[in-house]
Amino acid sequence: MRMLFRQRLFSWFDSYDIYSPSGNTLYTVKGQLAWGHCLKIFDAAGLYIGTVKERVLTFLPKFEIYIGGRYAGCIKKELSFFKPVFSVDLGGWQVNGNFTEWDYTVAGTDGSLVATVSKEIFNLTDTYVIDVVRESDALGVLMLVLAIDAEKCSRG
């Protein structure tokens, strides 16, 4: 399953639209006024399905994932010097990427590919292409990408 992740050009808070390659809206993400990032995810029908929320007052950035209001896991930035490292407590996944944090893969506990993420660099807003192996992992992978993008925005 392929998803195109685009940040909205004119929005006060982090807002994103996630499309299929044919242009159909799959998800909408709306940022909320909060201490730290708080991103609410809605399905194509506009129904709330999850939240990515930054924990504040932590030494390194940490994002909690809630699916349908229930805690599902977290993503933490680890202390590293040359290459970003993220600890993922969500489905037993691991994130492996390059030093720019634009292109990375998500792997399962057995090393199998869950998703690939790549950033298109010649756009006015952040635009990512997300290829998910199993459609059932799409929401979790989207939330992981949102957390990593929010962490980069906090630094930048």
Q: Note the pLDDT tens digit of each residue in 116-150.
A: 999 887 666 678 899 999 999 999 999 998 888 87
The closest alpha carbon to 55, from 73, 81, 29, 67, belongs to 73
114, 108 Cβ separation under 8 angstroms: yes
The closest alpha carbon to 149, from 72, 90, 84, belongs to 84
φ, ψ of residue 70 in degrees (nearest 5)? -105, 140
What mean pLDDT is reported for the chain?
A: 84
Q: Considering the chain, what percentage of its residues have pLDDT values greater than 70?
A: 83
pLDDT of residue 71: 94
pLDDT of residue 19: 92
Which of 3.30.470.20, 3.40.20.10, 2.60.40.420, 2.40.160.200 would CATH assign to domain 2-155?
2.40.160.200
**pLDDT per position as a tens digit, 24-63:** 999 999 987 666 789 999 999 999 999 999 887 767 778 9
85-111 burial, b at 16+ Cβ within 10 Å, e below that, comes to ebebebbebebebeeebeebbbbeeee
What is 101-153 written as a DSSP string? SSSEEEE-TTS-EEEEEEEESSSSS-EEEEEESSGGGHHHHHHHHHHHHHHHH
Lowest-confidence region among 60-64, 80-84, 151-155: 151-155
Greater confidence, 114 or 89?
114
C-alpha distances (whole Å) from 60 to each of 12, 30, 156 are 25, 24, 15
The closest alpha carbon to 128, from 155, 108, 100, belongs to 100
Q: Tell me 93's DSSP state.
A: -
